[in-house]
C-alpha cells in the first residue's frame, strides 16, 4: 500500500512535509501547479518526493465552483462580470482560453464541446503539457539561476510517477461523460506512447451495487496503466457495513479484472486496510479531503481545525477537539511532538485545572496557526505509522491491535460523539478473514 498526500493548503503544508523522511508520494492539483508554479518548482526540487498531478478537469462542469468569493459573495470585475479564482483562471487559460468567458457566466462545459475533434485534441495535449513541463521547467530555471549566481545547484530530478488523463464526473457508465472519459484516455495513450499514465474512474458511489460492472470497466480502461478511483460522496466512516463490503468487493474485482494498480484518490480510515484486497494506494490531504463530492465546490474550510484520533481512525470537529484537549491526555495514545507538548502543558497545570482550561482556550484564539499545524503534523505521523503497520504486520497481529484500539476508543464515544470507526474496521476484517 502506497500513501499519497494531496496538496491543498500548500503554504501551510510545505514546511510540515519537509519534516518527514518517510516514503510517501504527493498529489498536486493542476490549479496549484499553475498558480504556484515557481514556488512549487523550487519546493519539489528540494523535497525530492515523487508525485503526480491531478488534472482536476471535472470542475469544468461546475464553473461556479471556480469563481472567486469574498465574504460568501461572488466577486465581480469593473465590467460586472464574475471573477474566476486566479488558480483556475491560469489553468483554464492554458487549456482553452475561450472557456474563460463561458465560465465567468457560470455556463458549464457540455458534452457537445467534445464533438469537435480539435477540442478533444487540444484538451488532451494541453493536459499532458501541464503535467510534463510545468514543474520541470520551473525547476530547471531555478537551477540555471543558481548556477549564474555561483550557488551549488542540486541535480534536477523530475520525479513524476505517471501522467493522468483528463476526466469528468459520470453518474453511471451510460452517462455521456463516461464515454468522453474513455475517449480522453484512448487519445492520451496515443500521444504518450509507452509512457506510464492512469485513467480516473470518477463516478457515483452507487456503482458499488452494480453486479459484474468491474468487467465492463476493465475493458473500457484497458488503454491505461492504472486506475485512480474517485467514488463521489463516498465517506467510509458514514457508510453502512454492507456498502463498505461492496466497496471492498468492487476494488478487488476491478483489480482482478484489470491486473492494474488501483489508487483511491480520496481515502479515509478504511482504505489502508484494503491492501490485501486489490488496493495499491490511497490518498488524502492533511486531516482533510478524505472524501469528495464531485458535484460540490472543490474546497475546504481553512479556518476550521480538525483532529485525528488514532485509536478510532476518525477525525473530530473543532468543537470536539476542544473537548478532547480539556478532558483527555493525548500522550496516552500518541507520542508525536504535538501531543507531547499538550501533555506537558497538562502536567504543568495538574494542580490548577482552571488555568489549564484557559491555556487551551487561548490556543484556539491567539495560537490557531500553531494548533492547525500541530493537528496536521499529528495526522500525517499517525497515518504513515498506520500504513507501515498494515504493510508489515500479519492479519492476526492487525486484528489484535484493532481489538486494543477499539477498547481505547470506546471512552471517547459519549464525550466526543465519535463512531469508534476502529470497531467497524475490526468487524469487517474479522468477517473478511473467516
Q: What is the pLDDT of residues 47-103, one digit of tens each?
A: 888 999 999 999 999 998 888 887 678 898 887 889 999 999 999 999 999 999 999
Instruction: Return the beta strands (E) in 173-233 as ranges.
Output: 197-204, 226-232
- CATH dotted code for 2-62+108-284: 3.20.20.80
* Domains in the chain: boundaries: 2-62+108-284, 307-432
What is the rounded CA–CA span in Å between residue 363 and residue 383? 24
What is the rounded CA–CA span in Å between residue 309 and residue 319? 14
Q: What pLDDT is recorded for position 145?
A: 44
Among residues 231, 228, 176, 233, which one has the least CA distance to residue 208? 231
Phi (first) and psi of residue 171, to 5 degrees? -75, -30
How many other β-carbons are positioned within 10 Å of the β-carbon of residue 369?
10
Among residues 38, 57, 55, 53, which one has the least CA distance to residue 4? 53
How many other β-carbons are positioned within 10 Å of the β-carbon of residue 10?
16
pTM above 0.75? yes
Among residues 123, 104, 105, 103, which one has the least CA distance to residue 113? 123
Q: Which three cell numbers stand for residue 122?
A: 487540444
**Sequential DSSP letters for 104-166:** HTTPPP-GGGGGSHHHHHHHHHHHHHHHHHHHHHHHHHHHHHHHHTTPPPPP----B--EE--
Q: What pLDDT is recorded for position 330?
A: 93
Q: What pLDDT is recorded for position 413?
A: 83
Low-confidence residues of the chain: pLDDT under 50: 142, 145-146, 148-149
Q: Which three cell numbers stand for residue 359?
A: 491555556
Could you give the maximum distance between any two Cα atoms of the chain, in Å? 74
Amino acid at each position: 500500500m502506497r500513501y499519497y498526500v494531496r496538496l491543498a493548503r500548500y503554504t501551510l503544508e510545505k514546511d510540515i512535509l519537509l519534516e518527514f523522511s518517510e516514503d510517501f508520494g504527493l498529489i498536486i492539483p493542476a490549479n496549484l501547479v499553475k498558480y504556484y508554479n515557481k514556488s512549487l518548482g523550487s519546493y519539489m526540487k528540494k523535497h525530492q518526493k515523487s508525485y503526480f498531478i491531478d488534472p482536476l478537469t471535472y470542475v469544468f462542469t461546475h464553473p461556479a465552483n471556480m469563481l472567486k468569493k469574498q465574504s460568501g459573495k461572488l466577486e465581480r470585475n469593473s465590467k460586472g462580470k464574475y471573477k474566476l479564482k486566479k488558480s483556475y483562471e491560469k489553468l483554464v487559460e492554458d487549456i482553452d482560453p475561450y472557456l474563460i468567458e463561458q465560465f465567468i457566466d457560470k455556463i458549464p462545459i457540455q458534452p457537445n464541446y467534445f464533438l469537435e475533434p480539435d477540442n478533444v485534441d487540444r484538451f488532451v495535449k494541453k493536459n499532458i503539457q501541464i503535467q510534463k513541463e510545468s514543474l520541470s521547467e520551473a525547476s530547471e530555471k531555478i537551477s540555471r539561476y543558481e548556477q549564474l549566481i555561483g550557488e551549488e545547484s542540486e541535480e534536477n530530478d523530475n520525479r513524476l510517477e505517471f501522467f493522468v488523463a483528463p476526466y469528468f464526473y459520470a453518474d453511471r457508465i451510460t452517462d455521456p461523460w463516461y464515454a468522453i472519459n474513455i475517449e480522453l484516455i484512448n487519445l492520451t495513450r496515443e500521444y504518450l506512447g509507452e509512457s506510464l499514465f492512469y485513467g480516473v474512474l470518477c463516478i457515483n458511489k452507487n456503482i458499488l451495487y452494480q453486479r459484474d460492472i468491474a468487467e465492463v470497466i476493465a475493458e473500457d480502461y484497458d488503454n491505461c496503466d492504472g486506475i485512480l478511483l474517485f467514488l463521489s460522496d463516498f465517506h467510509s466512516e458514514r457508510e453502512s457495513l454492507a456498502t463498505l463490503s461492496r466497496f471492498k468487493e468492487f476494488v478487488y474485482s476491478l483489480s482482478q479484472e484489470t491486473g492494474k494498480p488501483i489508487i483511491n484518490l480520496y481515502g479515509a480510515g478504511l482504505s489502508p486496510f484494503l491492501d490485501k484486497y486489490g488496493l495499491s494506494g490511497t490518498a488524502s490531504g492533511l486531516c482533510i479531503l478524505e472524501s469528495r463530492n464531485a458535484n460540490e465546490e472543490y474546497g475546504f474550510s481553512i479556518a476550521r481545525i480538525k483532529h485525528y484520533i488514532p485509536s478510532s481512525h476518525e477525525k473530530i470537529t473543532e468543537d470536539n477537539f476542544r473537548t478532547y484537549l480539556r478532558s483527555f491526555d493525548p500522550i496516552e495514545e500518541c507520542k508525536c511532538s504535538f501531543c507531547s507538548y499538550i501533555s506537558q502543558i497538562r502536567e504543568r497545570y495538574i494542580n490548577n485545572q482552571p488555568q489549564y482550561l484557559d491555556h487551551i482556550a487561548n490556543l484556539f484564539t491567539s495560537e490557531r496557526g500553531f494548533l492547525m499545524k500541530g493537528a496536521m503534523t499529528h495526522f500525517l505521523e499517525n497515518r504513515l505509522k498506520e500504513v507501515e503497520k498494515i504493510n508489515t504486520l500479519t492479519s492476526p497481529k492487525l486484528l489484535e491491535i484493532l481489538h486494543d484500539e477499539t477498547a481505547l476508543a470506546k471512552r471517547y464515544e459519549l464525550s466526543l460523539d465519535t463512531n469508534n470507526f476502529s470497531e467497524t474496521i475490526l468487524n469487517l476484517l474479522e468477517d473478511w478473514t473467516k
